[in-house]
Amino acid sequence: MKYAVLATWKMAEEGTKKAAKLLAEGKDCGEAVIEGIAMVEDNPAFHSVGYGGRPNAEGRVFLDGGFMNGDTLHFGAVGSVEGFRSAVRIAASLQDGDANNFLVGEGAERYAEAHGFERRDNVTAETLELYEKEKERLKELSAYDGHDTVCFLALDQSGSLCAATSTSGLFMKQPGRIGDTPLPGVGYYADSKIGAAAATGMGEEIMKGALSYAAVRFLKDGLSAQEAAEKAVSELNDTLVERNGYANPMSLIVLAKDGSYGIGTNITFTYCYASDEEEATVHEIIVERE
């Protein structure tokens, strides 16, 4: 296979087409994943990423994002950033150098301002309407309701792999809360010699198993992409059920260095895949939860 792109949720369909087109033109995987995600960040119809994202407990939208270069293992990440158009673009710009690759809050915003990243108020009328409607019953809400992180993995024609993520985080999250999405090894991981992985779901649960790194390690041990994805999710899911009596939602996408892919999930999940052999297609895995 010459190139491939794999992304979480149906909302990534148009971004997957764009990423596949860039890869077909010979662009690198970094550009493909960033442009794919930026399309989701800019679309207010998708309520858990970028513009029109889910509000926190104070009715404000804070973004998390991450990027990893599988050739160098360099990563860039931002957490709890308010008032900027694209978390993934800011994150990716932080990948160079051996320090200051992960910035949060005011420090991340000052960095973004100083480096000319486009500002945007990501709170839409719909965001505010949802907040006003739901804030009275904050204690009854499940934080996961309606939450989906967008994750993109890509293999380019030179054999490099990249991973990127972006989210507004859990609905009604506490100010300052950061999920798995910007955390390398947890929300995403890429190693061009092995494969890449990225996660969506309840961040606090995904952190307990460093899910993305776990899957790439399983690939390194010789498992196929599908085996690695399933094993990473089922091991963590079963451990959490055994210790706590339940496991919150988590889904994982895995792209091996040969362009083959795998999915692990403990909930019904949609994803998009495209390659030089397959047009961008949305797939669904149905999981009945007890």
Shortest distance (Å) from residue 222 CB to ligand GLY: 29
Q: Could you tell me the smallest distance in angstroms from the CB atom of residue 122 to ligand GLY?
A: 15
CB nearer to ligand GLY: pick between 23 and 143: 143
Nearer to ligand GLY, 181 or 192 (CB): 181
- Residue 180 parent element (H or E): none
Closest CB to ligand GLY among 201 and 259?
A: 201
CA distance 163 to 127: 28
Is 239 considered catalytic here?
no
Cα separation, 73 vs 69, in Å, equals 5
Q: The sheet that has 75-81: what strands, in order across it? A: 102-104, 75-81, 63-69, 161-167, 150-155, 4-8, 269-275, 278-285
Q: Which of the residues 8, 149, 181, 265 is marked catalytic?
A: 149
Question: Contact at 8 Å (CB) between 94 and 103?
Answer: yes
Q: Which residues bind ligand GLY (CB under 6 A)?
A: 149, 167, 169-170, 179-181, 200-203
Minimum CB distance to ligand GLY, residue 159 (Å)? 29
184 or 201: CB nearest ligand GLY: 201
Q: Where are the alpha helices (DSSP H) in the chain?
A: 13-24, 29-41, 87-93, 105-114, 125-134, 203-207, 211-220, 225-244
Q: In the complex, what is the shortest distance from the CB of residue 279 to ligand GLY, in angstroms, rounded to a whole number? A: 28
Catalytic positions: 149
